[in-house]
Amino acid sequence: MAKTEVILTHNIVGLGSESDQVKVAAGYARNYLLPQHLAIPVTGANKRRLESLKQRRAEREAHELNTMTDLAKGISKLICVVSVKTGEDGKIFGTVTSGMIADQLKTQFDIVLEKRKIHLEQPIKALGEHEVELRLHADVKSTLKVRVESSTPLPDKNAAAPVLEAPKTQTRAKRGEQQVYTSERKPRS
């Protein structure tokens, strides 16, 4: 199979980052990378252009690192509250996942965070406060406190339930139907 060298102009998962010079199959380069402007062929002029791509990549990575460092400082002070449905005994229906935490961060604090950056070793299955690791960048990690609360009120075991009495009513049925009496006295026929 024929191989060709290209210079990547964008990050491509599994292939490389911006300004990387990689060897790929000729058909992949010709049919996908070049028409989508994800890569440029290796020529003398493009090699000179490589320096500007490397500079742009370094600036973007420095900006991402600064942004994520600031975000990590702010997030470590927050407490994210997640409301879940529970049974009468306080047990959660289902689990709290990283997607639910990402949604709550967006609605409560207007912080948009990808769910893959929220690292849960196991989904949360209990009420209370939990510490969740956030992997915001390769060099930036932080923790977020997540409080899982019940959206359904738990019944108070000490309070006695009020006893309701059925009303004493009398109904008369039409001809041919069965009569239903709920009072203690039966009517005269």
Q: Name which residue leads in pLDDT, 59 or 159.
A: 59
The structure's pTM equals 0.63
pLDDT for 88? 83
pLDDT tens-place string over residues 65-113:
999 999 999 999 999 999 999 888 888 888 999 999 999 999 999 999 9
User: Could you give the domains of the chain?
Assistant: 3-69 (3.40.5.10), 76-150 (3.10.430.100)
pLDDT tens-place string over residues 129-173:
999 999 998 899 999 999 999 888 766 555 555 555 655 555 555
Asked whether the beta carbons of 119 and 134 are under 8 A apart, the reply is yes
CA 2, 17, 8, 10 dihedral sign is positive
Give the whole-angstrom CA distance, residue 174 versus residue 187: 15
Asked whether the beta carbons of 149 and 82 are under 8 A apart, the reply is yes
Give the whole-angstrom CA distance, residue 86 versus residue 64: 39
Look up tokens 């702010």; give the residue: 74
pLDDT for 54? 86
